[in-house]
Amino acid sequence: MGQDVRRRRAAAERLVQDLETGAVSRRQFIARATALGLSVPTIAGLLAACGDDGGGSTAGGSTAGGGTAISSSGGARGAEAVAAKVYPDGITSDPEYKGPNGGSRVAFLPPDAYDGTDEHGIRRWVCYDFTADKPYRIAFAHFSAKWDLSVEMAARAERAIKAMGCEPLIFDNNFDADQAIKNVDLIVQQQADFVVEAQIFPDANKAIYKRLEAAGIPSGYFAVEGPDGALFEDAGNLRMCTALGEWLGEYARDNWDGQVDLVMLAAQPRAGAYVAEREVGYRAGIKKVLPDLPDSVFVEFDSQGLLDESQKKAADVLTAHPDAKTILGCGSNDDAAVGIVRALEAAKRADTAAVAGQAGQASAVEELKKPDSPFKVSAFTDIETVPWLAAIGILELMGGEVAPVNFLPFYLITSDNVGDFPPQAGTLA
């Protein structure tokens, strides 16, 4: 108990310092002080002692890190300079797809908005090429250390946040809603200025958003949506998986004269309606190329997004359809797709099959390098672009306009071009 009191006292002292230097607004101070348990008279006394919103200024000019230095006294000019880096193509509207959070204003990170690669072969994305006006504390809560891509994601985020002149706070959600919510309490205690949330349960995201909002901390959500209006970033499940479905449909048309006996959809229903748009996209893309394909050939099962679980469920589907010869497989992610591949191989039915996945996971890279694998195509998202949401959060803290929906670029990767894609999992972590 004494340790908790000391921790709260230290947090309150840091909060007062942030108010004095202008690192937080009065509104943010009140929300965070209340969350720390300070009484109303104490909060009022501290506000009176600190006076009006102030904050020191930082001289403009070039920085040692080579980014664009932004003056905190520059107002709109500073935010505009950062916006040009964060949103190279600006903010627009997408008439066909508005994202899962109700947002009608969208932004697309251009697929070529990088300037070469670094010593690790990682692309130098321009969206990180600036220094924030203040050393904001940016929390990044990633899916789980159990997932190699998530570990790499956290390492990339930590590096990018530091490069933008801010302090990273990294948390592991452990694929667990309760742990993700517990992490929010730590994030509030550590007085983060912005939170990037990556976890798989939509309802938990809504609870997380409410807690952070009560503490005056803005947040953004990656891959799994938050409540309506919350910042969101993803490659866009519908558009991405529609493209994958079209590729599979064209493969079936060109190699099997359009004859498809079975389409296996390895879904992930626990992740909610937005992630379910992957299966919607796969169906739409395949039927765009093969419009006469009957709905009865589509069989969906719960893979949980895991290789072993997907393999077991796919094996059950193959057993239930012994006469299916030409088979398409659609993975909610790459591991789920490779699970389908393993089931096809075990059943000795891989020769007339074509499987797709998405994410750029190590399992896909390995599979695409095999000459005879039924794993034919994946939609890779460069993991280095995931911290774009942190850059967007920094722009918002600086008073710039941000899009409610932010789409990452994706790339269709086959055995022909997998060797050209930059390194993903296992590069920094």
198 lies in the same domain as 272: no
Give the per-residue pLDDT at 11: 65
In this predicted structure, which of 24-28, 122-126, 154-158, 333-337 has the lowest mean pLDDT? 24-28
Q: How sure is the predictor about 55, in pLDDT bands with cuts at 50, 70 and 90? A: very low
205 lies in the same domain as 261: no
Give the per-residue pLDDT at 379: 95
Mean pLDDT for the stretch of residues 52-66: 35
Mean pLDDT for the stretch of residues 48-64: 41
pLDDT tens by residue, 66-78: 444 443 333 334 8
Give the per-residue pLDDT at 323: 97
Picking from 341, 365, 380, the residue at the C-terminal end of a domain is 380
Give the per-residue pLDDT at 15: 74
For residue 101, being part of any structural domain is answered with yes
100 lies in the same domain as 154: yes
pLDDT at 326 over 60: yes
For residue 417, being part of any structural domain is answered with no
Burial class for 211, CB neighbours closer than 10 Å (0-12, 13-18, 19+): middle
pLDDT tens by residue, 130-145: 999 999 999 999 999 9
Distance between CA 138 and CA 191 in Å, rounded?
9
Give the per-residue pLDDT at 148: 87
Mean pLDDT for the stretch of residues 266-285: 92
In this predicted structure, which of 17-26, 341-350, 364-373, 386-395 has the lowest mean pLDDT? 17-26
pLDDT tens by residue, 175-186: 999 999 999 999
Give the per-residue pLDDT at 407: 93
Give the per-residue pLDDT at 51: 61
For residue 71, being part of any structural domain is answered with no
For residue 58, being part of any structural domain is answered with no
Name the most confidently modeled range: 22-31, 55-64, 371-380: 371-380
Beta strands in 162-290 (DSSP E): 167-172, 194-197, 219-222, 231-234, 262-267
pLDDT at 159 over 60: yes
257 lies in the same domain as 370: yes
Give the per-residue pLDDT at 97: 54
Q: Which of 143, 155, 166 is nearest to 306 (CA)?
A: 143
* Amino acid identity, position 77: R
Instruction: Take residue 335 and report the two structure tokens written for it.
Output: 């591991």
pTM: 0.78
**What is each CA distance from 15 to 19, 167, 192, 196, 265, in whole angstroms?**
6, 15, 10, 21, 50
For residue 423, being part of any structural domain is answered with no
Distance between CA 136 and CA 393 in Å, rounded?
10
Mean pLDDT for the stretch of residues 8-34: 68
pLDDT at 147 over 70: yes
191 lies in the same domain as 142: yes
Q: How sure is the predictor about 271, in pLDDT bands with cuts at 50, 70 and 90? A: confident
102 lies in the same domain as 144: yes
Helix axes 307-320 and 334-346, enclosed angle (nearest 10): 40
Give the per-residue pLDDT at 359: 85
b vs e for 263-295, b when ≥16 Cβ sit within 10 Å of the residue's Cβ? bbbbbbeebbebbbbbbbbbbbbbbebbeebee
pLDDT at 33 over 80: no
Instruction: Take residue 28 and report the two structure tokens written for it.
Output: 């943010």
Distance between CA 232 and CA 392 in Å, rounded?
10
Q: What is the CATH number of the domain that holds 367?
A: 3.40.50.2300
pLDDT tens by residue, 78-103: 899 999 999 999 998 766 655 665 55
Share of the chain above pLDDT 70, in %: 83
Give the per-residue pLDDT at 332: 95
Distance between CA 113 and CA 371 in Å, rounded?
32
192 lies in the same domain as 252: no
| First-to-final CA distance of the chain | 36
Q: Cα Rg for the chain, rounded, in angstroms?
A: 24
With contact defined as beta carbons under 8 Å apart, do 407 and 108 qualify? yes
174 lies in the same domain as 284: no
pLDDT at 293 over 90: yes
pLDDT at 304 over 80: yes
175 lies in the same domain as 208: yes
With contact defined as beta carbons under 8 Å apart, do 205 and 226 qualify? yes
**Pairing between strand 194-197 and 219-222?**
parallel
For residue 259, being part of any structural domain is answered with yes
- Half-sphere exposure at residue 39, Cβ-oriented, CA atoms within 13 angstroms: 3
With contact defined as beta carbons under 8 Å apart, do 147 and 163 qualify? no
Average pLDDT, the chain: 87
Quick one: how many helices (H) and strands (E) in the chain?
A: 13, 19
**What is each CA distance from 104 to 92, 99, 222, 248, 404, in whole angstroms?**
9, 8, 17, 30, 7
In this predicted structure, which of 75-84, 110-119, 154-163, 181-190 has the lowest mean pLDDT? 75-84
DSSP H helices in 36-174: 40-50, 76-86, 148-163
Give the per-residue pLDDT at 68: 44
Q: How sure is the predictor about 358, in pLDDT bands with cuts at 50, 70 and 90? A: very high
With contact defined as beta carbons under 8 Å apart, do 55 and 399 qualify? no
pLDDT at 30 over 80: no
Instruction: Take residue 288 and report the two structure tokens written for it.
Output: 């765009």
287 lies in the same domain as 231: no
**Pairing between strand 411-413 and 298-302?**
unpaired
For residue 393, being part of any structural domain is answered with yes
The range of the structural domain enclosing residue 273 comes to 237-380
pLDDT at 65 over 60: no
Which tops the pLDDT comparison, 227 or 376? Answer: 376
Domain total of the chain: 3
212 lies in the same domain as 117: yes
Distance between CA 353 and CA 372 in Å, rounded?
11
Sign of CA dihedral 152, 219, 336, 376: negative
310 lies in the same domain as 205: no
For residue 215, being part of any structural domain is answered with yes
